[in-house]
Amino acid sequence: MDDRAQIQQFLASRRARITPEQAGLPAYGGNRRVKGLRREEVAMLAGVSVDYYVRLERGNLSGASDGVLDGVARALHLDDAERDHLFDLARRGPAPAAPRRRPAARKIRPALQQMLDAISDAPAWIGNDRHDLVAVNRLAAALFAPILADPRRPANTARFTYLDPAAREFFSDWDKVADDVAAVLRVEAGRNPYDKDLSDLIGELSTRSEVFRRRWADHNVRHHRTGTKKLHHPEVGDLELHFEAMTPASDPPSPSSSTRPRRTPPAPTACVSWPPGPPLRTSRTPFPTRNPTPDRPRVQQPRVAGSSCPGDRVDTSRMPA
């Protein structure tokens, strides 16, 4: 991943989407040869010289102060995810002198799996920003059966989304899921550029999926912490599930985390869980339970339940009881 090219393409693509009217600038004449703002207009809005902004957009963010980066973020109307990504690109450390050895496969502590298993009426899983499914409870294993059918471990949602034809049927809103997957991978690439597993995954997707290459070239970034999953499960039918992805306050990101590359994901040290809400009913027969009932269930609004663990993300969604 070429750092300068990433910075140049990210800033240029953000500049191209902002019109003078959106930026509060007068648009003189109707024949602008550039899409979006001109570089000198961004420089004026950011409070820097034109030459300095041109240097930034050419990929040289070294030495740029937080104030300058904030000014650029305001001028380009960056959202929180885009601003974080800009800072990650500016603060990443130098590449290692020698290729980093791939760490040994990480194992989940038994207590962590016990915590997931204790959530008996909601799917709960531990993932990371490479979209690996690191650990699941019983209902999450049933929910993600099409993804877990891939014999490779850890199973990976990004690989399933772009490379498995079954994904377009499994994800009812596949286009949105594909956008989110690429955007989260782009965030992680900016934050952790020397992650060998991440580079391999992006290389595989870029090589094998034209759809991924187009989305990757958009340089969109996004936080994916809460929302609704719309699925069509082969055994259950249509599902609409709320989810939350959380890192607890007991393990907040380090203030210096954006100033150096993260070599490996942080190890979990503590977990929190809380009682789930009323069970969700679906449009078809629910997953098997210990006390199944013959009554045909009615559709009810899903509710959120959850648990969380520092370091990795823990996602939870309401599922049938």
Question: Pairing mode, if any, of strands 132-136 and 124-127?
Answer: antiparallel
Task: Identify the residue with better confidence: 6 or 213.
Answer: 213
pLDDT-derived band at 121 (thresholds 50, 70, 90) equals confident
- The residues spanned by each domain of the chain are 3-91, 110-317
Per-residue b or e along 280-319, where b marks 16 or more CB atoms closer than 10 Å to that residue's CB: bbbeeebbeeeeeeeeebeeeebeebbbbbbbbbbbbbbb
63-103 pLDDT, tens digit per residue, is: 899 999 999 999 999 999 999 999 999 987 666 655 555 55
- The residue-averaged pLDDT of 191-202 equals 90
DSSP assignment, residue 315? Answer: E
pLDDT of residue 46: 93
Residues 6+ apart with CB under 8 A from 158: 130, 131, 181, 185, 201, 205
Task: Identify the residue with better confidence: 175 or 308.
Answer: 175
Give the Å distances, CA to CA, from 175 to 59, 98, 190, 207: 31, 39, 23, 19
**What secondary structure does DSSP assign to 154-209, as a single string?**
SEEHHHHHHH-TTHHHHBTTHHHHHHHHHHHHHHHHHH-TT-HHHHHHHHHHHHH-
Give the separation between CA 191 and CA 315, rounded to whole angstroms.
21
Residue percentage of the chain with pLDDT more than 70: 69
Question: For the domain 110-317, what is the CATH code?
Answer: 3.30.450
Task: Identify the residue with better confidence: 212 or 242.
Answer: 212
Give the Å distances, CA to CA, from 66 to 69, 73, 79, 127, 177: 5, 10, 16, 31, 33
286-303 pLDDT, tens digit per residue, is: 444 434 333 333 333 333
CATH T-level fold of 3-91: 434 Repressor (Amino-terminal Domain) (1.10.260)
